[in-house]
Structure 1
Amino acid sequence: MRGMRRLLLLLILAATLATGGCSLSAARIQKADAVVALTVDRQSTCAQPDHCALPSVLVDAALEANAASTPDKPVHVATLLEDGETALAARVNLIRAARQTIDVQTYIWEQDDAGKLVLDELIAAARRGVRVRILADQLFSFRDPGLLAVLARASDNIEIRLYNPTFYSARTPPLEFAAGIVCCFFHFNQRMHNKLIVIDDLIGITGGRNYEDRYFDWDPAFDYVDRDVMVGGPAAKAMGASFDQFWVHKRAVPLTHLRDVNSELVADTDDLKRWAPPTYDNPERVTELLEHAEDAGWVDERLVRATLRLNRVEYLSDLPGKTDDPKRREARTLTRHIMGLVRNAKSEIVLQTPYLVMSKPAKKIFSNLHKQPDPPRVVVSTNSLASTDAFAVYAMSYKHRKRYLIDYGFEIYELKPHPANADRDALEGPTTDIITPPINRPVGSGGGDRRPTRAERSRAAGTSGPSESAGFLSAGRRYGPGARHRPAPLLTEGVRFGLHAKSIVVDDTFAMVGTHNFDPRSDHYNTESGVIIYDKRFSDRLRGSIMQDTEPGNAWVIGPRQKTIPVLSEINEFIGDVSERLPFFDLWPFRYATSYDLKPGCIPMRWTDPKFFECYEPVGDFPEVDVSLKMIYTRMITAFGSASSGIL
């Protein structure tokens, strides 16, 4: 009986959404707007024309690039932001240097230390006179109507909108979430995956990072290996123009139009809640980062020395409401551009993506490339089951390993959960991960001497011349810090790292850093953005960064199983091929490929090398994961199938 009631309520909610019955009346919106106008904090902390902007060598470099640019020959400055601390400090530095405008676009905004710090910095900028606009995807951002009611009145210079809110609400409880799927799946499923911050239309940052501790190496249990790029010069104007397109789109909804936030505003007229300085879980760490952001020497060492002066740079973004008119060429601008670059590859493609699940167009492109007489080398850096926090997506990648190796010629390297080049900053605090006795690992499995961190590599480059799972199905698990995407338990201890960077280098001549995961969701559902840089020096640096993540101390190699018993091996492979083609129930447990680690005394080589089996030893399909094969396969069989890859 209780189940029938829930089903009936679900259907009623779905019908209400379908008829638009959840939007607020104009009178209700006007009432909340009036409350905001009367109670907004109008304090000003600066009366100077430049709004008390702090000096910044990063902004100065962008100004110089703009001044040197001509219509025929633009000039840009670009910096790879590899480690979390540098990426966060760069944002704070730019926010404090803003004179006129700050535009921020993101997929996730969590209320942990990183999220609160950036929000507090933006409010401080607004109170000194800078116009601040924040556009965040509704499903994974804020999710607290009371907080948003406070932010709506934090300053008369700050405005926040949520993209594609479900039922015109800031928070989506599970029942409304399910109703949104039943009612209008394609509308609900289209999310804004863009990440962007633009300062004065002069300099901006885009890439994989959202506003949550784990994107900046601040999570004590699980952190992301991620990447941004900071670009100053004419391309920043394109960033600002793209933000404007999203800002005025019908799916970007002001806070007073949201039912739950509107109710908070209308009810909170006597006991006003004001924005107060945040309380941090680790205040010493926050203080240290703020000091670094204003330390000219630190900024010079970490950022300026790693900056390249170059010419051709393009910022590309899909259009908002991507699924409204999918046949419109401009709707999938970034996706189409990436496909064109890959299709024309001649010698090498180096790809880094958290989720190795290919769309149909991508499969066709890679298949055609591999059929060429002299096909380009394709290197793929991605997650292992031990490192990912998106089990569903990994299951689809695992399912098609043979196709990736044989039909496309991929060289696949899966990140270890404790890579040797892990960032020291992330390893400094205590861990809240499950502590289990470490297993005896072979040489090259992540132990031993640590390689230089990403920050150290960036500084070295400068002296010599940067899961979210993108799928909406994770939303039901995202109601509290750290609740989203619980990774598989490990046999090893310590802070775990998962890959989140999205980058590609083609033929060592041009490179892309952005938000595109190179999967069906990014192709067809989510809006994506990225920077494409046509410069060999930049491409070499990005390629070097990705390739280091494929080294034996950082990743396992995926290769075919050695055929020890000819007849049985052939029968096993045949049954595995049949099972792989089943859309839902892929039952056969013995797969064509498995994970390998380098043996002591050997040098790294490709899986196609005749001596591969002499120098690599198999470590199982799911190394370092403390879960039985029976449980893993049961979850795959019951939950996932190839037909759902575009949704996941």
Structure 2
Amino acid sequence: MFKLVALLFPVLRGPALRLMTLAAALALSACAGLPPRTPEKPELAIPASASTELGRAALSLNSPPDGLSSMRPLIEASYALDARLELMRRARSSLDIQTYQLGNDKTGRLLLREMRNAARRGVRVRLLLDDFYTAGMDNLLLGLASEPNAEVRLFNPFVNLRDHSSGRWLEFFSDFRRLNHRMHNKLFVADGAMMIAGGRNLADEYFLRAENANFIDFELLLAGPVVPEAADIFDTYWNSDVVWPLQRVAGTSRTAAELQASFEEATSPAQAPPPGPLPITDVLGDLPLGAQLAGIDELKWMRAEANATADSPNKALGVMSRPTQTLAHRFHEMLGTARSNVVVISPYFIPGDEGMERIRMGREQGVNITVITNSLADSDEPLVNINYNRYRVDMLKLGVNLYEVSTQQLRRSGQFRDLLKKARGRLHAKLALVDRQWVLLGSMNLDPRSALLNTEFGVRVRSFDLTQALLFAYQLDDIEGVYRVTLKPDGKNVEWIGTGDVDNEVLDSEPDSSMLTRLQLLLFSWFVPTDQL
């Protein structure tokens, strides 16, 4: 997720560069804009069918039909990637994939190759990408789109100098009002029968395959009535006015055959190696999806009420007429129904005045509130953390249980020590547990950008079983691998208590961060409006 400070660095390095940047931005503003629209027939999701393996499995999971959906938690990254590969390889009618980021790395290329393979089997493949992270990927994506059964579309695309990040930054500033809105949704639907929803982007670091830093995340694999709800949302985006066919904005002089040959090389096993073998079972004792589908008569998932919801794609046009239409508003309303217990897990957490008022009201009603977010040193968006810091003392005074994820602490926890190896560990899951009955999950962070600027997708599930599984998997009743943040005796400052070992070290400054880093971030925070974070 980009933050405005990342965009400011190129223009903060001297008068000459600032002048060049301004001149280039003015020049770009006169360049070609988005091409004119031509009427296009809406494309709709292909419903689930008993003629496909996944369709039959979904019918088996949801028989007899009772309005409930079936679900399986995807807690471990290796199992989440394997589930996608299994669904793509078993799909026979359609793949509808929507994501904020598709990495130009071994994971992104592996998934692109599976999409290509599916298209060549006759599967209709629709890939919908936000255009923010596609610099340098046009030919790779055009290679997929050159397949007769595959189509790639871009949300709110860049037009000029598409292959160069510096050119995109300049276009961003010259068309800031439009390009500042991004599609943060993540959704994966196979054969209209099964779907994956949650927080993971399609890149190495979201599946523990990166060397420097990896994300701890969460998703659900679902079948049942919630799937056509999600498919309808995908269709709304796919056919919206802020989505463009890739070929309309990405030109190339290559022929289809040349694009396909280049794609073949870029997604070869040398460039896109498959993942290693899976553990026999996941943390909850479940077999890999392929093994489950092979034993269809014994396929048993959790059953619960589930609903999919999302922001309108028109949020990117700034035409959301009422705040009550946003996913963020519905999320806060759901939290407001809590009567006993709320656990919020969010990598980026800025409650704002409205959020603080809801916290205060909940505490007055006796609701136990726990917030888990990233520490400053382990946040990939440290400016967000600086703004979150402004609310820490007030939350603690209200009696909020506050925890911050730390690589140092995670490595002391047996659960993550082997998984992280030498890489940093960062929280990326977006989850809320309400009264140990409701689970809210999806792409939405609890910050102003998710609430006001980006579009988001989420799923609401009413399930005691799922809640208990998450409490067990993440050890939420006895949290390890984090710092517990508490008030000092003076009631004005905070301290950090380790939870990863018997020593339980106590720190009086931000863990694993230098004074210089904290000062730099504080200075930058004065120039970046909170509503851009």
The answer, yes or no, to whether TM exceeds 0.5 is: yes
Q: Distance in 2 between matches of 1:122 and 1:451?
A: 33
Q: CA deviation at 1:270?
A: 8.8
Amino acid at match of 1:511: V
Task: Quote the offset at 1:494 in angstroms.
Answer: 2.3
Equivalent residues of 2:106, 2:273 under 8 A apart? no
- The answer for the alignment partner of 2:469 in structure 1 is 541
Question: Identity across aligned pairs (percent)?
Answer: 24
C-alpha RMSD over aligned residues: 3.5
Cα distance in 2 for residues equivalent to 1:2 and 1:560: 45
Aligned residues of 1:52 and 1:128 also touching (Cα < 8 A): no
In 1: Cα distance, 2:281 partner to 2:89 partner: 13
Residue 45 of structure 2 corresponds to which residue in structure 1? none
The answer as to 2:18 corresponding to 1:22 is no
Pairing partner for 1:286 from 263, 275, 300: 275
Aligned to 2:59: 63
Say which SS state the counterpart of residue 311 (structure 1) adopts: strand
For the 8 Å contact 1:51–1:128, the answer to whether it is kept is: no
CA distance in 2, matches of 1:213, 1:335: 28
How far apart are the structure 1 equivalents of 2:80 and 2:71? 13
CA distance in 2, matches of 1:306, 1:383: 36
Structure 1 counterpart of 2:119? 126
Distance, in Å, in 2 between the alignment partners of 1:51 and 1:536 is 30
2:9 alignment counterpart: none
Counterpart residue number, 1:469:
none
Query: Compared with structure 1, are the counterparts of its residues 595 and 545 closer, same or farther at alpha carbon in structure 2 (3 Å cutoff)?
Result: same
- Note the alpha carbon deviations across 1:152-211, whole angstroms, 9 max, x for none: 21x10000011101236644633442443343x332111100000001221100101111
Provide the residue aligned with 1:8 in structure 2.
23
Aligned residues: 501
Alignment partner, residue 509 of structure 2: 621
Q: CA deviation at 1:301?
A: 7.1
Q: Deviations over 1:353-398 (max 9, x none)?
A: 001211443222112222x2x4201111111123221111111122
Counterpart of 2:157, as a letter, is P
Question: 1:59-458 counterparts in 2 under 5 A?
Answer: 60-69=56-65, 73-141=66-134, 143-153=136-146, 155-167=147-159, 170-171=162-163, 173-183=165-175, 185-258=176-249, 261-262=250-251, 264=252, 266=253, 268=255, 273-274=260-261, 275-276=263-264, 278-280=267-269, 285-286=274-275, 288=277, 298-299=288-289, 308-323=301-316, 324-328=318-322, 331-332=325-326, 334-370=327-363, 372=364, 374-407=365-398, 409-420=399-410, 446-447=411-412, 450-451=414-415
- The answer (yes or no) to whether the contact 1:81–1:230 under 8 Å persists in 2 is yes
Structure 2 residue 526 is the aligned partner of structure 1 residue 641: yes
- What secondary structure, in the 3-state scheme, does the structure 2 residue paired with 1:313 have? strand
Residue 309 of structure 1 deviates from its aligned partner by: 3.3
Letter in 2 for 1:515: S
State the alpha-carbon separation in 2 of the partners of residues 197 and 599 from structure 1.
Answer: 35
Unaligned regions of 5+ residues in structure 2, if any?
Answer: 1-15, 41-48
Q: Is the 2:240–2:313 contact (alpha carbons within 8 Å) kept by the matching residues of 1?
A: yes
Secondary structure of 1:68's aligned partner: coil
Deviation at residue 406 of structure 1 after TM alignment = 1.6
Structure 2 letter corresponding to 1:91: R
**Selected match of 2:423 from 471, 495, 508:** 495
Q: 1:125 and 1:291, CA in 2 relative to 1: closer, same or farther beyond 3 A?
A: farther
* Superposition deviation, residue 621 in structure 1: 2.3
User: In the alignment, is residue 561 of structure 1 matched against residue 488 of structure 2?
Assistant: yes
| 2:460 aligned to which of 508, 532, 542 | 532
| Structure showing greater Rg | 1
Distance in 1, Cα, partners of 2:299 & 2:409 = 23
Distance change (3 Å), C-alpha of 1:337 and 1:544: farther
Instruction: Label 1:149 to 1:339 Cα distance change in 2 as closer, same or farther (>3 A).
Output: same
Q: TM-score, normalised by structure 1?
A: 0.70
* 2:496 equivalent to 1:595: yes
The answer as to whether partners of 1:92 and 1:290 remain within 8 angstroms in 2 is no
Q: SS of the residue aligned with 1:516?
A: coil
- Contact 2:127–2:152 (8 Å) recurs in 1: yes
**C-alpha separation between the residues in 2 aligned to 1:637 and 1:243?**
39
State the TM-score, normalized to the length of structure 2.
0.84
Instruction: Tell me: CA distance 1:25–1:78, structure 2 relative to 1, closer, same or farther (3 Å).
Output: closer
Residue identity opposite 1:325 in structure 2: V
Contact residue 110 and residue 274 of structure 2 kept, 8 A: no
Q: CA deviation at 1:452?
A: 8.1
Check whether the contact 1:415–1:549 (CA below 8 A) recurs between aligned residues: no
Distance in 2 between residues matched to 1:548 and 1:356, nearest whole Å:
18
